[in-house]
Amino acid sequence: MSSLYNFKKIEPVPTSSDFVDIILSKTQRKTPTVIHKNYNIGRIRQFYMRKVKFTQENFDEKFKNILDEFPKLEDIHPFYADLMNVLYDKDHYKLALGQVNTARHLIDQVAKDYVRLLKFGDSLYRCKQLKKAALGRMATVMKRQKDSLAYLEQVRQHLSRLPSIDPNTRTLLICGYPNVGKSSFINKITRAEVDVQPYAFTTKSLFVGHMDYKYMRWQVIDTPGILDHPLEERNTIEMQSITAMAHLRSCIMYFMDLSEQCGYSVEDQVKLFNNIKPLFANKPIVLVINKIDQVKPEDLPEEQRKWIEDIANEENATVLTMSCYNDDGVMNVRNSACDKLLAARVEMKMKGNKINDVINKIHLAQPQQRDNIARLPNIPAETKTRVKYDPNDPNRRRLEKDIEAEQGGAGVYNVDVKKKYLLEDDEWKYDTIPEFLDGHNVADFIDPEIEEKLEALEREEERLEAEGFYQSDEEILDDEEEVLRTAADAIRDRKKLIVQAHRAARGRTRPVLPKTAAAKFTTVSEMDRQLASMGIDGTDASERTRSAAESRKRTRHEAIPDEAVKDAGAMDRGDSEAQEIASEGFRNVKQKLEADKQKKNVQKQSSKMGKRGEADRQIQTKMPKHLFSGKRGMGSTDRR
């Protein structure tokens, strides 16, 4: 909850001139900057419309951040709303935020009007002037917000310095006249470092410290001192205390100085309490009498003691005494105030509506009394007679520690782990237990009833055999099941043969020709003989195959290109270059060049991984500037 009122996260509010500079600079950086008059007029309009819209969107974004980050007095806790009213005047604050919101709408309207005019711009110059006028009017609107932005920046700086107070957590609120020891007390019980001086109004604002009590976090608020005069005459410093007392659910700790060293009499301090007690309604009150090292309540006159007793009786206040000078009673005051606040918070929750939902879920069982016998708590006799171990008693029970000391102490003594073995004969404790005996594992013969179990198992087996438990079911098979089993056995045998044939075929060294290759070695006459052996007339198929083959025949000129013929002629003539190309497996020079080109392309990627090393002698800068710059004599300089 306290993070909700952490105003340190509000971003700084720039001045009006800085605001304009930021927005226009962003427009220049984030939008295109080059336009020519020979562009299409639609493109020119779009260029300048984008400038105006982008500027308006940036203004809108900045204003929206300001309006969202500053707290709205209607949405925050009444304590903070009244505190901001005391510190900054809520009318002035609302007016500043309202002017920022108005400027946001004005800039939106200016952008809308000028975008509408830019749609009808007929030249580059006209569009540029409209854009210029739009941004100028936006800047003018911003200049009018100079005072509002400066005020909001001052409010932001002051808000960031305010302590983060959680209005709903466990709180101790310290109040009273100036210089009665409030800041000294908060310094004692928390880590807060509030300035303490021997004059009034040292504390000018609220200070918050935190502490732990009963595993819970507590906040302690030190308020500025207040004087006894009407509310309308109180200044800003005093109104902070009044606001805290009025709105925070806390334990009110009203401090009094009976020694009157604070500069105010006991009567004035009692009058101040009666004056501000309407602010303490429904809150636990602790009346703290400070500086008892100077004057104690018993030392006061009867009349003044009666005033303090009246406060304690009428307001149900708890009167506690302490002294910050010698720390007498400080922690008692703190603990009593915390306990009283916890009790008040529980009582308030019990009166609320939510308690009914909680009580319905809780059931506390109460045992019913069955007779009139009183059953008091019973302490066992052993516990009563238990005597504390005395190491100097000669009749004491010997401990393992005593045995260790007798046998050489730590590092020499070895614990006897076998002495507490429970065996029939104590002499067996230290016998060596063999793991193997006569070639057999001893663990297999540990069970003393192994023979009886074995006999019982054999009797069970004989009984099952006699009853026919292990007889085969094959004798009672019917005819259908017999047929199915026979068919299944035949299928299994067939599968085994197929698998064996497949494995034998895989193990051959002779490669198996594919169908396309095998077709090349099959002639038409072989096809005729095969068809005739099957009793089929294959005349039509043979003729159709021969006619298709004739239609696919190529001429010699088509089959052998001229270049191959020339290369063959060159080889016949003994051309050494052609013979070398042919020996490498290429048909001609063109094919060899293409292959070399492909090889270079493949090697290019791997060559990119090469790094420059120490052996690569290379001068990075041919003519270093530091050797050729400086004072010159007469004449021209040539650095090339």
Q: How many CB atoms lie within 10 A of CB 336?
A: 17
Calpha distance 205→513 (Å, rounded): 102
Q: How does residue 129 score in pLDDT terms, banded at 50, 70 and 90?
A: very high
At 562 the pLDDT is: 53
Helix (H, G, I), strand (E, B) or coil at 591: helix
Q: Is the pLDDT of residue 565 over 60?
A: no
Residue 275: closest CA among 237, 233, 216: 233
Please provide the size of the chain in residues.
Answer: 640
Q: How does residue 469 score in pLDDT terms, banded at 50, 70 and 90?
A: confident
Please write the tens of the pLDDT for every residue from 181-193.
Answer: 889 999 989 888 8
Q: How does residue 518 score in pLDDT terms, banded at 50, 70 and 90?
A: low
Q: Is the pLDDT of residue 558 over 60?
A: no
Helix (H, G, I), strand (E, B) or coil at 365: coil
**Strand 207-213 vs strand 216-222: parallel, antiparallel, or unpaired?**
antiparallel
Q: How many CB atoms lie within 10 A of CB 570?
A: 17
At 614 the pLDDT is: 63
Calpha distance 255→269 (Å, rounded): 9
Q: Is the pLDDT of residue 566 over 60?
A: no
- What secondary structure letter does DSSP report for 435? S
Q: How does residue 543 score in pLDDT terms, banded at 50, 70 and 90?
A: confident
Please write the tens of the pLDDT for every residue from 32-90.
Answer: 999 998 999 999 999 999 999 999 999 999 999 999 999 998 888 889 888 888 998 88
Among the listed ranges 99-103, 381-385, 398-402, which one has the minimum average pLDDT value?
Answer: 381-385
Q: Give strand ranges (E) for 246-284.
A: 251-257
Please write the tens of the pLDDT for every residue from 277-317.
Answer: 888 888 899 999 998 888 888 888 888 888 888 888 877 78
Q: Is the pLDDT of residue 336 over 90?
A: yes
473 vs 447 pLDDT, higher one: 447
CB 77 within 8 A of CB 167: yes
Residue 37: closest CA among 48, 50, 49: 48
Calpha distance 255→177 (Å, rounded): 8
At 29 the pLDDT is: 92
Global model pTM greater than 0.75: no
Calpha distance 202→118 (Å, rounded): 63
At 573 the pLDDT is: 47
Q: Which domains does the chain show, CATH number per domain?
A: 2-158 (1.20.120.1190), 164-351 (3.40.50.300)
Cα angle for residues 75, 80, 84 (degrees, 5° grid): 105
Calpha distance 252→182 (Å, rounded): 12
Cα angle for residues 547, 552, 555 (degrees, 5° grid): 120
CB 143 within 8 A of CB 103: no
Calpha distance 588→563 (Å, rounded): 7
Among the listed ranges 262-266, 413-417, 491-495, 529-533, which one has the minimum average pLDDT value?
Answer: 529-533
